[in-house]
């Protein structure tokens, strides 16, 4: 078992492994003698008394309640490392009394949580998910034709606020815009992670997003179409989705 290996390394106690642990376990194992308390058939208190009396560091998440009862079983503990930004699962007062340091994720999640917060706000304000459910239930029977001339610029303003690197394609380069310009949609797709389609449907833009553009965007690519459906070759899009190619 893992607790009987690498005895010369400093010990790291893990009771409930954080979600990211499997990705970093091999690297952590090179620097720490990892004690997997959750994998032992022993009751937790018995395991800690037997193996963890000299543990100086513990890695945890919100599922591990670092309270007075647990800390009493870890007399040598010097630092609690939590993968969360909050510490409501840790008895901070008791840790301070025992001289145990607490390290948190702090602002690691800030940008992602902020994105989710803004996304949920927009979803509620614009009823995006509600409208999606409405359409999927077959209740949508009318069609609307919306002018799209200024939408692209408004999208760019919002994406820039999120820290995205914005570039664009248009009939011609716009000298007033500071964003990189690509003369073809294929080139635009090849140099970006996502495409937001805001153009009108014309003979020139019909099936503009075709097999070549989808291939250029790649397996990890994202397409958002706020224009008409026929701008995208839907048969090709379905094929790419079925085969996991986008």
Tens digits of per-residue pLDDT, 130-153?
878 877 887 655 443 333 346 778
Same domain, 96 and 168: no
* Dist. CA 2–CA 5, nearest whole Å: 5
State mean pLDDT over 204-212.
94
- The CA-atom distances, in angstroms, between 54 and each of 7, 30, 66 are 12, 19, 17
- Going by their DSSP bridges, the two strands 33-36 and 79-82 should be labelled as unpaired
Same domain, 89 and 181: no
DSSP state of 235: H
Considering the domain boundaries, does residue 144 fall inside one?
Answer: no
Number of structural domains in the chain: 2
Of 4-8, 194-198, 202-206, which range is least confident?
4-8
Query: Residue holding tokens 């010990």?
Result: 11
Element (H, E) at 22: helix 21-31
Higher pLDDT among residues 77 and 8, named by residue: 77
Sign of the dihedral defined by the CA atoms of residues 39, 42, 44, 48, in that order: negative
Residue 34, pLDDT above cutoff 80: yes
Considering the domain boundaries, does residue 196 fall inside one?
Answer: yes
Residue 165, pLDDT above cutoff 60: yes
Check residue 198 and give its pLDDT: 83
- Tell me the pLDDT of the chain averaged across its residues: 86
Check residue 144 and give its pLDDT: 35
Considering the domain boundaries, does residue 194 fall inside one?
Answer: yes
State mean pLDDT over 176-187.
89
State mean pLDDT over 9-26.
88
Domain closes at, from 108, 140, 172: 108
Check residue 125 and give its pLDDT: 76
Nearest to 199 by CA among 153, 246, 143: 153
Considering the domain boundaries, does residue 123 fall inside one?
Answer: no
SS3 63: coil
Q: Per-residue pLDDT tens for 39-80?
A: 999 999 999 999 999 999 999 999 999 999 999 999 999 999
Which residues partner with 214 through β-bridges? none
Domain that holds residue 177: 149-246
Same domain, 41 and 99: yes
Same domain, 160 and 69: no
* Dist. CA 183–CA 202, nearest whole Å: 18
Considering the domain boundaries, does residue 32 fall inside one?
Answer: yes
* Dist. CA 99–CA 76, nearest whole Å: 10
Of 29-38, 43-52, 110-119, which range is least confident?
110-119
Same domain, 76 and 158: no
Same domain, 156 and 226: yes
Q: What are the helix and strand counts (H, E) for the chain?
A: 10, 7
Same domain, 64 and 158: no
Domain closes at, from 48, 81, 108: 108
Same domain, 171 and 241: yes
Domain closes at, from 87, 108, 129: 108
Same domain, 88 and 155: no
Instruction: Catalogue the E-assigned strands of 129-171.
Output: none
Check residue 163 and give its pLDDT: 81
């Amino acid at each position: 078992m893992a607790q009987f290996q690498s005895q010369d390394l400093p010990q790291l106690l893990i009771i409930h492994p954080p979600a990211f642990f499997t990705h970093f376990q091999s690297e952590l194992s090179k620097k720490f003698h990892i004690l997997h308390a959750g994998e032992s058939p022993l009751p937790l208190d018995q395991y800690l008394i037997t193996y963890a009396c000299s543990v100086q560091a513990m890695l945890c998440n919100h599922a591990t309640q670092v309270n007075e009862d647990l800390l009493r079983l870890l007399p040598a503990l010097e630092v609690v490392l939590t993968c969360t930004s909050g510490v409501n699962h840790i008895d901070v007062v008791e840790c301070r009394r025992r001289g145990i340091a607490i390290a948190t994720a702090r602002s690691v999640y800030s940008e992602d949580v902020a994105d989710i917060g803004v996304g949920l706000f927009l979803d509620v304000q614009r009823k995006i998910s509600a409208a999606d459910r409405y359409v999927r239930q077959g209740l949508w029977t009318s069609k609307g034709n919306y002018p799209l001339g200024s939408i692209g610029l408004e999208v760019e303003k919002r994406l820039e606020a999120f820290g995205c690197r914005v570039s664009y394609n248009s009939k011609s380069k716009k000298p007033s815009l500071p964003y990189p310009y690509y003369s073809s949609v294929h080139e635009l797709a090849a140099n970006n992670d996502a495409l937001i389609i805001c153009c009108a449907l014309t003979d020139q833009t019909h099936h503009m997003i075709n097999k070549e553009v989808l291939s250029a965007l790649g397996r990890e690519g994202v397409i958002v179409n706020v224009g008409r459906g026929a701008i995208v070759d839907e048969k090709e899009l379905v094929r790419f989705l079925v085969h996991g190619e986008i």
